[in-house]
A = this chain, B = another copy of it.
Amino acid sequence: MMRGKGWDAVILTGSDPHSSEYPAPRWKQVEWLTGFTGEAGDVVVTLDHAGLWTDTRYFIAANRQLAGTGVELHKLRVPEQVPIPQWLAENFGAEDPVIAIDSLCQNVAAVSEIEAAFGSAPFSIVGIPDLLNPLWPERPAVPQTPISVLDDASAGLSREAKILWARQFISNNDCEGILFTSLDEIAWMLNVRASDIDYNPYVISYLLVTQERVIWFVLKDHSEDPETDGTFDLLVSEGIELLPYGDVALVLSQEFEGSLFVDPSTLNREIAEAISDAQINMVQGRSPVILRKSIKNPVEIEGMRRAHVEDGVAMEKFLYWLEKSVAAGETVTEKDAADYLGRMRAQIDGYRGDSFETISAYGEGAALPHYVTPKENAPVLEAHGLYLCDSGGQYVFGTTDITRTVPLGPCTPLEREDYTLVLKGHIALAKAVFPRGTAGCQLDVLAREPLWSCKRNFGHGTGHGVGFWLGVHEGPQDIRQNFNTQALLPGMITSDEPGIYREGQHGVRHENLILCKEAGANDFGDWLCFESLTLCHFDTSIIEKGLLDTNEVAWLNAYNERVYNALAPRLPSDIASWLREKTRAI
């Protein structure tokens, strides 16, 4: 196809027309092409090379999955990295290449990076929507799952208020409209949820807000269902126009005039070109929803607290069963364990699925931070060493994400030491007090220094933002070794998840979600701290107590006591008794 078209290179991204972190099957182009299943990967194919670009999290999986395919791994997030734009510029130099992209799946910011890398060197970009279609007859359709609404009392802020706020933003920015292209932003703006993407309760759509109109580009070719019909009726009754998903470029071209605010990090090249062609002035900037959405309102905060009580009950039932089953010599695989936990969550009223695919990993499997539990022939848990489970639930009142690492029997001194050091790191961040204005990257070292002082470390971030019944990953804040200047603000929720991974041996990660909140003011400033939202005990049986200082022990005992008090009344008595023992002060 490339030779026929005269293309020198084709870029395919692992994302969708909305730059989603996790795309629906229709847009798993990289997986279709290369077999690589990691959650972040882009591909460049030239006439004599095929390369996959992914980051540290997926090197081991990529090496395994790409073996024998002829596709070469290009490493990102390493000091010597050569990202795609630089690689293209270096490899095609002054050859004036024709670079084909799937213009739906490449965002404006990514195209700008290619342009910057080439500088004054000649090249051209050919944008083809759904470029792979001719080669991929069985390609899945654009998904369309039932859509529901959150009522105002459950969302904490009405659609009407959010639209008014967006209109204020438009006029502050001297624009006539704003086009929302990111799926979590659209879900937040309209207080709607669906399950068009696994684990992510989004509706694949675009949203245009002007001073006079609100147009939701959401209608697709499939049949509707009653729930969605009700949602649509409600929105139409509020004056929101519903138009076909594929019509956004056409409608903008024909019906919009003036300046349009867009976010180049999620606006795809196909629509951007249509906007340009229609002589619409694009004002590019970060969508205001990103920050606003990250600061949870009181209803969302209460919902998240409730979600963590419910989720904690499921977790404790799971950990109880796990301990008893393994101790009894029953055959339990990693997959069995994940399934059992899923069933415990499914008992919760308001559960709408998991927030990501459960990582259920025993022993050396846990040494892979992004281990994928095999669906068939998963490893059997043994009555010794460490088992790690990283999972979360989506509830109509909140989203959870928790990792617990537990001993299944005797552990080695190194396992105990790693377990304790990671807990020290977790606690140091959880109990941090810091002045207003502090960014996550300025706190990250708190979770690492207990590990660093023993010359251990982990290769992923310490904390990511978490949405309210939305994506389990969201910005703009994070807690990691980058230089993200976004201050942590009251109402933001992030994870706290340090780890230690020893390839071929074991892995440890301890993760709670933490809520940033106010901690008073004095002559020295205005103070913030965290509340641990997650409620599930930390196993104390393998702690090397000599490694903890008195403040850390006090934190741990108080946390476990809080877990017991919150969960015991909701647990069967045998599990409550067991939890009483598990949460005894050390």
Contacts and interface: CB of A to CB of B under 8 A. Distances in A.
A453 B530 CA distance: 12
A162 B483 CA distance: 33
Contacts of A434: 445, 449, 452
A549 interface: yes
A384 interface: no
Contact of A485 (B431, B435, B443, B483): B483
Given A449-B446, A483-B483, A485-B483, A457 B441 contact: no
A169 to B, nearest CB: 22
Contacts of A428: 449
Given A437-B79, A442-B444, A442-B445, A455 B502 contact: no
B437 A524 contact: no
A306 interface: no
Contacts of A443: 445
A452 B527 CA distance: 8
Given A79-B437, A449-B432, A549-B549, A527 B455 contact: yes
Given A481-B442, A485-B483, A549-B549, A525 B449 contact: no
Contact of A524 (B456, B519, B522): B456
Contacts of A376: none
Interface of A: 79, 428, 431-435, 437-439, 441-446, 449, 452-453, 455-457, 481, 483, 485, 502, 519-520, 522-525, 527, 549-550
Copies per assembly: 2
Smallest CB-CB A-B distances: 3 pairs: A483-B483, A457-B524, A549-B549
B457 A433 contact: no
A490 to B, nearest CB: 16
Contacts of A519: 455
Contacts of A485: 483
A428 B431 CA distance: 17
A205 to B, nearest CB: 36
B455 A520 contact: yes
User: Chain B CB within 10 Å — which of A434, A444, A520 has the most?
Assistant: A434
Nearest to A442: B445
Nearest to A524: B457
Contacts of A439: 483
A442 B445 CA distance: 6
20 contacts: A79-B437, A431-B453, A432-B452, A433-B449, A433-B453, A435-B457, A438-B481, A441-B441, A441-B483, A442-B444, A442-B445, A442-B481, A445-B445, A455-B519, A455-B520, A455-B522, A455-B524, A455-B527, A457-B524, A483-B483
